[in-house]
Structure 1
Amino acid sequence: MTHRTLTAALGAVLLLGTSCSSDTSEARPAERPSSSTPGSGGDGHGAVDGAQEVAEPQLHLTTVDVTGRVGMLDLLTEETSAVGTVGEPSAVASDGRYVFATTASGVEVVDSGVWTWNHGDHHHYYRAEPRVLGTVPGRGQATVSTGPLSTAGGTGLFLAGSGEAVLLDNEALADGELRETFRVSTRPHDGLVAPFADGAVVTVPDASGTVTDVELVDADGSPSPGTRTSCADASGTITTSVGLVVGCADGALLWTEDGERPAVERIPYPRGSQAPPATGFDARKGRPTVAALAGTDGFWLLDTRERTWRLHEVDVPLLRVSASDDVEGHVVALDRSGRVRVYAAGTGEQLAVTAPLVAGSVRRPRAAARVELVVDQERAYLSSPEEGVVHEIDYADSARVARRLRTDVAPTFLAETGR
């Protein structure tokens, strides 16, 4: 019996219902709940009509193949199911419940039907029927920015081809409706729209299409007076348990809420650092410390609670990096030979390394761009588009490969849902 199957068996004897279940491993009760940080979203505890509250997280691998077929694999039982079909995808993103596929029509949205609602000091877990919700129309590659809760707040879609910034209403999404809170037209550029409070932070380009600033916009898409902030080459965003992060050429901006008033702080890179800036962030969902590549030969760790950066240089080129931010401070990375490496957040020491798991995929640029590395509380999941498998890795146990999972729908694109 696998660890996850044992967890499921134990969970089956627990009383199910709407009572609050304890999950102290993720708890950070000292942090202020707000509409942009976990622990808020109304009194429904993430409940949705037609959904069942259950005792354990309903973790699944949701995969999309080159033709747009969508399937799911239950990580507790290894049972598979078909969800539906979207257009041929060029990229996929997820918030841990929804899957957002960029296609020729725009962004097609899939509801995996499994999610976790973070109540600050504990969690609630739900499952419902998965379904394809429809398409948000637009042109060009989409940059997707998600918040902490799938049933509250918003999801940002920036469509580079048309320069449109779209904020979706997550409460409507939870009811199966694609409702745009706003759609704002800007000059076409590589931008982002990151949900925050009742609105979002959006990029502001100059006449050449280069991002110079970001600003906070209200729920109707109108700029909030006095909120424009310099952020050259803005790239990469993530919501932590502290607030919203946006990467800039000189560091990061962190938005937080103090009562009714938003505040923004600049977290500059360490003085004298010559390492390349972070252009994307990844971490176990809802944690304060996040990771980012520093070029190919190192990685950054941004602690949003302490407002500090830490740079770790490594002796192998890296393709992916994600922070578990657990008690031991594990950082999980994929190198260019297809090996998974585990580092210590505090020292940068390498703790473990696997054999080459996705060597075939990383040798081919197109496949390498689609390899996903997802980290949750207990495991990391590494997709291999060329080999058609997903590796489950126990990163805290010497990077042991716990399972090789085969999905009915090829893992050309992968998301872990139920988080």
Structure 2
Amino acid sequence: MNLPASRNPLRRRHAAVLGALALGLAACGADTDTNEATEAAAEPVEVDHAEPRLVVAYEDHVEVFDATTIESKGSIETTSAPYVQTAADGRHVFTLAHNDETIGLIDSGTWTEAHGDHGHSFTLDPSETALELDHLSYHAVSDDERSVIWYDDLGAFGVLDHDELEGGKVEPQLFEIGEPHHGVAVPTADGGFLATVSADGEATGVAVLDATGAEINRFETCPGLHGESHVGETGYAFGCGTGILVVDGGQARSIPSPVEGAGTGTLASDHESTVVAGALSAEDQPELASQLALYDTAAGTSRAVELGAPFSNLVVSEGRAIVIGTDGALRVVDLTTGEVTTVPAIAEWEKTDDWQEPRPYLAVAGDTVWITDPQAGAIHTLDLATSALETVEVDGEPGRLVVVNADHAGHDH
């Protein structure tokens, strides 16, 4: 079945095809008709190269696009705009519809199975997996072949192993922590977990749990805890009203904010760096909307970097923090030096106090950045190595997004 005309992207090219990017992400395989996501193909098709896809949230559905061509591969209806977060296998994507207090799971239909120094890549039509949870959630954190979903309404979290995500009825194992609160839980390398603890309904710190959920230790030194990110090989950082809390190997330490009186919310980092980037905020310091905090977790120090404009979401790739400013330009920040490079990308946009208002969002893999542009009804692809930009018009207002199966792009089987 073909997608309705209202969901077939209109195409408009504004730049030459990104040569190196196209080669790296090009899909080699038989062309197939675009099907509705709920009518997934019965058998996977092996392809010559990994075919990365974008999973993009809209107000009433989630659309899956080929990451190279921005052609739609299928859509799944939702009753509200969800958060989209990648699962532990890099193939599935959680849809966290907080307005409706529901959680779903999408099979993006693209994956690569590693075999030593090479991989075998496969595709299917996107589909909805048998996971339907009636819980309030904003965070699904995946690492070490496990995905952990935090339930705000229960003060608990559910755990799924990597191999549980394919087929059948998916039932997360439930771990109850305490009173309901807006929090987060993460898997640790030793098979245990870190989970937020609260007082009077507000997250105040982190408990260290073993594989059974039994508490080993706790650190209640992170008032107003919000946001988390993996750091280094085994650690996690949590945003606090006073800076960040870093927990690694069952031990914790706090790193003060670079700006007195300011807290840190959204965090981003990667396994290759011990530096965590974070968004600064303070009710009485609106100028912080254009500043980024860099926390060196090895040295225990922090610095503030002025970006020149407020920004949307924050992503990190290969030692660089990347944001999209309200002036339409990307800021690429070197995590080690704090040096800022500005790359023009899209038209100016307005950031309102309503965080649910449509705004641009970023996803990144290597030197490639994808930017949703609800104002223009478009998805942009930017090559950081060349600053070349390609734009494709799509129907509606694309919002939050993730990219899947991009790490293996360009690898032959």
Is 1:236 aligned to residue 252 of structure 2? Answer: no
- Post-superposition shift, 1:155? 1.7
CA distance in 2, matches of 1:401, 1:361: 24
CA–CA distance in 2 between the matches of 1:156 and 1:134? 17
Deviations 1:180-220 (A, max 9, x none): 122425312111111223232111112x1122231122334
The match for 1:373 among 346, 362, 365 is 362
- Shift of residue 338, structure 1, vs aligned partner: 3.3
Q: Using the alignment, how far apart are the partners of 2:290 and 2:315 within structure 1?
A: 15
Q: 1:324 aligns with which of 293, 317, 320?
A: 317
Over aligned residues, Cα RMSD in angstroms? 3.5
Q: Tell me the CA shift for residue 86 of structure 1.
A: 3.5
Q: Which amino acid aligns with 1:350?
A: V
**Pairing partner for 2:109 from 106, 110, 113:** 113
Spell out, residue by residue over 1:257-305, the C-alpha distance to the aligned partner (whole angstroms, 9 max, x if none): xxxxx432325136x7426232121246775544211231311223456
1-structure distance, mates of 2:312, 2:210: 36
Structure-2 change in CA distance of 1:291 and 1:265 (3 Å): same
Distance 1:363 1:268 in 2: 30
What displacement does 1:354 show?
Answer: 1.0
Q: Does the Cα contact within 8 Å between 1:234 and 1:246 map onto a contact in 2?
A: no
- Report how far residue 370 of structure 1 moved: 4.8
Name the structure, 1 or 2, with higher relative contact order (CA <8 Å, separation 6+): 2
Matched, 1:93 2:93: no
Matched, 1:214 2:206: yes
Structure 1 pair 133/370, CA: closer, same or farther in 2 (3 Å)?
farther
TM-score, scaled to structure 2: 0.74
SS in 1 for 2:23: helix
**Structure 1 residue aligned with 2:371, among 375, 382, 399?**
382
Q: 1:52 to 1:252 in 2, by over 3 A?
A: farther
> Aligned-pair distance for 1:132?
0.7
Distance in structure 2 (CA, Å) of the matches to 1:213 and 1:283: 20
For 1:62, give the aligned amino acid. Answer: V
Cα drift, residue 403 of structure 1: 0.9
Q: Distance in 2 between matches of 1:215 and 1:237?
A: 14
Cα 1:415/1:380, change in 2 over 3 Å: same
Give the counterpart of 1:6 among 5, 19, 23. Answer: 23
1:402 — aligned with what? 389
Unaligned runs of 5+ in 2: 1-16, 30-41, 282-288, 407-413
Amino acid paired to 1:336: T
Does structure 1 retain, via aligned residues, the 8 Å contact 2:156–2:174? Answer: no
Residue identity in the other structure for 2:23? L
Alignment of 1:172-321 (within 5 A): 172-175=164-167, 177-184=169-176, 186-197=178-189, 198-206=191-199, 208-220=200-212, 222-225=213-216, 227-232=217-222, 233-247=224-238, 248-256=240-248, 262-269=249-256, 273-274=259-260, 276-283=262-269, 288-295=274-281, 296-304=289-297, 308-321=301-314
Please tell me whether the aligned partners of residues 92 and 108 of structure 2 are also in contact (alpha carbons under 8 angstroms): yes
Q: 1:280 to 1:51 in 2, by over 3 A?
A: farther
What are structure 1's unaligned runs of at least 5 residues?
14-48, 257-261
Residue 278 of structure 1: SS of its match in structure 2?
strand
Give the direction of change, closer, same or farther, for the CA distance of 1:134–1:240 in structure 2 (3 Å limit).
farther
- Count, aligned residues: 362
Task: Tell me which amino acid in the other structure corresponds to 1:111.
Answer: D
Corresponding residue for 2:128? 132
- Whole-angstrom CA distance in 1 between matches of 2:242 and 2:117: 36
Any idea what the Cα deviations from partners look like across 1:164-186, whole Å, max 9, x if unmatched? 32222332014554221224253
Contact 2:67 2:403 in 1 (8 A): no
**Cα gap change, 1:316/1:361 in structure 2, threshold over 3 Å: closer, same or farther?**
closer
* 2:138 aligned to which of 139, 143, 160: 143
Q: What letter is aligned with 2:59?
A: V
